[in-house]
Amino acid sequence: MNIANNCVVAFHYTLTDDEGNELDSSTGKEPLAYLHGHRGIIPGLEKELEGKAAGDAMKVTVQPSEGYGELNPELVQAVPREAFQGVDQIEVGMQFQAQGEGGQAQMVVVKDVNDESVTVDANHPLAGQTLHFDVSVENVREATEEELSHGHVH
């Protein structure tokens, strides 16, 4: 069976950046499973998997526009230090959950700290990066009615 919309796909992957540094991998774990055509993985990778079958292996390069997007400078903001009440020590690299404009939960990463403010970045950590995937398709099957109605793999 070839990968097409409404198929459940399981694949192993290793993700690296432009310098070849490993960013993520399914090695030693269960393969990643997703429902094809339902935005369960980044668009550039999903597009490259279309038509493939179990046993296929490939290397895929995904540009930021089809990955986690370009870096959006508007998502980097200086927040008054008082907004972090109850946190004694704030350091660069720390992650916090914040409330987005629509009221949804949003992860932010601390980029800079001074006496008056904390600069946080709400961009996805992989935004602006070209992503390199080494992928092997393990299994392709038809999705169940329940998976289709829920929009994800069970």
CA 35: distance to chain centroid? Answer: 15
Model pTM score: 0.83
Q: Mean pLDDT check: name the lowest of 85-89, 105-109, 112-116.
A: 85-89
Q: How far is CA 132 from CA 16, 25, 37, 51, 57, in A?
A: 5, 11, 21, 20, 14
Distance CA 51, CA 43 (A): 15
Calculate the average pLDDT of the chain. Answer: 95
Which band of pLDDT confidence, cut at 50, 70 and 90, is reported for residue 139? very high
Helix or strand holding residue 33 (H, E) = strand 32-35
pLDDT at 15: 98
- In the chain the domains, ranked by start, together with CATH numbers, are 7-68+126-150 (3.10.50.40), 73-121 (2.40.10.330)
Residue 125 in contact with residue 107, Cβ under 8 Å? no
pLDDT tens digit sequence for 53-102: 999 999 999 999 999 999 999 999 999 999 888 888 999 999 998 887 78
- pLDDT > 90: percent of the chain: 87
pLDDT at 100: 75
pLDDT tens digit sequence for 24-50: 999 999 999 999 999 999 999 999 999
